[in-house]
Amino acid sequence: MSNIRVTHTGLLSFFIAIITIFSSFAFILIITRTLSQDEFGTWTLINGLLLYALMGNTITSYWSTRDVARNIESGKTALVGSMILSIGFIIIYLILSYFMGYQTNVDSNILLLSSILIPILFLSGTLTAINLGWKPHVISYGSLILGISQIFIALFLVYFLKMGVPGIIATVSISNLINILFLYKHARSKLKNPFNIDFLKSWIRLSWISLYPGLPIMIEGSGLIIFSLMTESIIGLAIWAVALVTPSIISHVGLISRAIYPKLLEGGDKHYLENNLTLLLYFNFLVTGLVIVFAKSALIILNPIYQDAYFILILLAVGNFFSVLTNVFIQGLTGNESIDLNKKATFRQYMKSKLFYPHTLRLIQSFSSILILPIGLIILTHNNYDVITLVEFWAITSLVTQIPLTFVLYLSARNTLQFSLNRITISKYLIVSIITFSIIFILSEQFLIYNDDLYSFVLEAFIFAILGISLYLIFTYILDSNTRILLKSIINEMINKIDGK
């Protein structure tokens, strides 16, 4: 689809994501300031269990993106098929919930109640996949709507009515339904063809392909279950989840490269890859630097009881920096693969294709991480280390297995897609980010002091963050000609958008 503009879509998605960050942070702030550690740990466990059920949605969503990008009309089949499949995965979720409720001190009724999220998230995921294939920018607007609606609903149900975890479940359900209506409006033209059972049969037959990329995510998610069972507590899950809140901001940087996947599915020239990856790294250094510098401040804002987890947050931030790159390289490799167009392709051909190879590497990384985790937990708990140390070990394990995966995938993507990175420019970004955020860290340690006045503290932290962003932009603008071209192109994109061009 030639109307997909990689840089334009990426920048639009990223800047909308910046706005979404504030809404998402406000939503989490409501939760962490209202819920106890046990309640927040319960919500974290629910999210971990949902990973197993939501894997089933990839059976339809995986193929719908590839079909839509190639003008194959399978949208309605994907939508109806996802609803049918969700029934089976609700049953799987209920079995898991019953087991975890029995093994832990979590209320089983709350776990069972959360099953209402599954069909809603299946529907949302399928509509997102359809829009990704031809209007990837629509997803960003939907995320904005989702984030804003969550704030108002959570304020009413969780903050004022004190509904606890059931209030969060209701909030996520209602806000996602609002997002579904928006996504459906933009996907309607791709839902006109009648339901085709042959599409669904083919997707189920090839489900081993679509489910395979989700295996590493599922295995990583099992860390929540392993940790809670081995420590016999969900307090560690609450600490892990809170420490993940701010680093998750870094993942939004990956939106800059969101359009690469459908663009590669179209075929054609790949000249845009080098510039897009340089742009990605430019903002990846910026956002990661901000998150690391304000690690402790962010935890204090969320809830001062979590402030000792700042080192965990830093480890997760570095891990997310590499995770962004990993995801982009995987998108590039799988988007460049066309074996699925060959209806006679054999199992062996699929196994050798780029639809499998990148995810196999990720699977090895996930297995390595999850095998090391229980061994370390046994040793640490035997020596009576506190829960913070246990979660720190979890974060270290995740990071040390993530870094080599990123570099191997980079080499594979470079060889396959034939792109090169401007090392001089990227080195300048790295050096400037280190200098800039070292200055901001020293200043914030000196002048940014929490005195129980949350609003003043948030305002002061925001001012320091703006100062850090400004210094980074100014220094890179002065030192690098490519950055000057980049920033001018961003301004031109914004002007053209305003003028309606």
Predicted confidence at residue 7, as pLDDT, reads 56
Q: Specify whether the CB–CB gap between 48 and 225 falls below 8 A.
A: yes
pLDDT bucket at 8, cuts 50 / 70 / 90? low
pLDDT bucket at 188, cuts 50 / 70 / 90? very high
Which sign, positive or negative, has the C-alpha torsion 261, 266, 270, 276?
negative
Closest among 165, 204, 181, 183 to 58, alpha carbons compared: 204
Q: To the nearest whole percent, how much of the chain has pLDDT over 70?
A: 93
Would you state the structure tokens that stand for residue 438, as one six-digit string? 């070292």
| Domain layout of the chain by residue ranges | 1-209, 212-421, 434-501
Per residue in 476-485, pLDDT tens? 989 888 778 7
Would you state the structure tokens that stand for residue 167, as one six-digit string? 């209030």
User: Mean pLDDT over all residues of the chain?
Assistant: 88
pLDDT bucket at 316, cuts 50 / 70 / 90? very high
- Give the helix/strand (H/E) hosting 178: helix 164-187
Q: How far is residue 393's CA from residue 306's CA, in Å, rounded to a whole number?
A: 17
Q: How far is residue 166's CA from residue 152's CA, in Å, rounded to a whole number?
A: 16
pLDDT bucket at 421, cuts 50 / 70 / 90? confident
Q: List, in order, residues 6 or more apart from 442 with CB less than 8 Å away.
A: none
Q: How far is residue 262's CA from residue 70's CA, in Å, rounded to a whole number?
A: 9
Mean pLDDT, residues 354-367 taken together: 90
Predicted confidence at residue 493, as pLDDT, reads 61
Q: How far is residue 434's CA from residue 77's CA, in Å, rounded to a whole number?
A: 50
Enter the DSSP assignment of 206. T
Q: How far is residue 389's CA from residue 231's CA, in Å, rounded to a whole number?
A: 12
Has residue 157 got a pLDDT over 50?
Answer: yes
Per residue in 206-263, pLDDT tens? 898 889 888 898 888 889 889 988 887 788 999 999 999 999 889 888 878 877 877 7
Predicted confidence at residue 3, as pLDDT, reads 52
Return the SS3 of 2: coil
Q: How far is residue 103's CA from residue 114's CA, in Å, rounded to a whole number?
A: 18
Ranges 23-37, 127-141, 460-474: which has the least confidence:
127-141
Q: How many CB atoms are closer than 10 A to CB 196?
A: 15
